[in-house]
């Protein structure tokens, strides 16, 4: 298990979520399809488990964006992102091993906000923590 395998499997899961028009496994600077999702590695930690292994937690952030400066109203953008957030949470939490990339992924944590990317956007940030026993 690694940053690479976990990120790859999160992307594979998000690719299956209907309504996401673009999914990037990196911080894409020029999004041209909306709504879009970006997956970024955030951190990892290790805890002593026993003499043979550590417990390693990898943290990833999934950001989903929808523009607020288009013909879509703010109310529509909010509704679209809420539905997508529900779909992504269900997909991630329903695949507890992230297609075998980890022993288990904890339930997601989310925050919401507004930002400026290529255009003004409404976004939701989901945090995913994937845990694996790693032999030394």
Residue 110's domain is classified under what CATH number? Answer: 3.30.2000.30
Asked if pLDDT for residue 115 goes beyond 90, the answer is no
Give the domain range for residue 46. 3-135
Cα 77 off chain centre by: 19
Q: Within 13 Å and on the Cβ side, how many CA atoms surround 63?
A: 20
Distances (CA, A) of 67 to 15, 27, 97, 122: 20, 17, 32, 6
Higher pLDDT, 70 or 34: 34
CA distance 124 to 63: 6
Q: Within 13 Å and on the Cβ side, how many CA atoms surround 99?
A: 12
**Residue 39 in contact with residue 60, Cβ under 8 Å?**
yes
Q: Return mean pLDDT, the chain.
A: 90
Asked if pLDDT for residue 125 goes beyond 70, the answer is yes
**Residue 129 in contact with residue 101, Cβ under 8 Å?**
no
pTM, two decimal places:
0.89
DSSP 8-state symbol, 108: P
Number of domains in the chain: 1
């Amino acid at each position: 298990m690694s940053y690479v395998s976990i990120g790859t499997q999160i992307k594979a899961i998000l690719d299956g979520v209907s309504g996401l028009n673009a999914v990037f496994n990196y911080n894409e600077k020029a999004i041209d399809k909306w709504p879009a999702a970006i997956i970024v590695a955030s951190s990892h930690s290790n805890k002593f488990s026993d003499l043979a292994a550590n417990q390693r937690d990898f943290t990833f952030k999934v950001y989903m964006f929808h523009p607020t400066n288009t013909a879509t109203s703010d109310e529509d953008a909010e509704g679209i992102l809420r539905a997508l957030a529900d779909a992504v949470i269900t997909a991630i939490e329903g695949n507890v091993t992230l297609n075998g990339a980890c022993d288990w992924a904890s339930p997601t944590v989310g925050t919401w906000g507004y930002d400026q990317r290529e255009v003004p956007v409404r976004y939701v940030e989901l945090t995913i923590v994937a845990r694996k026993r790693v032999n030394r």
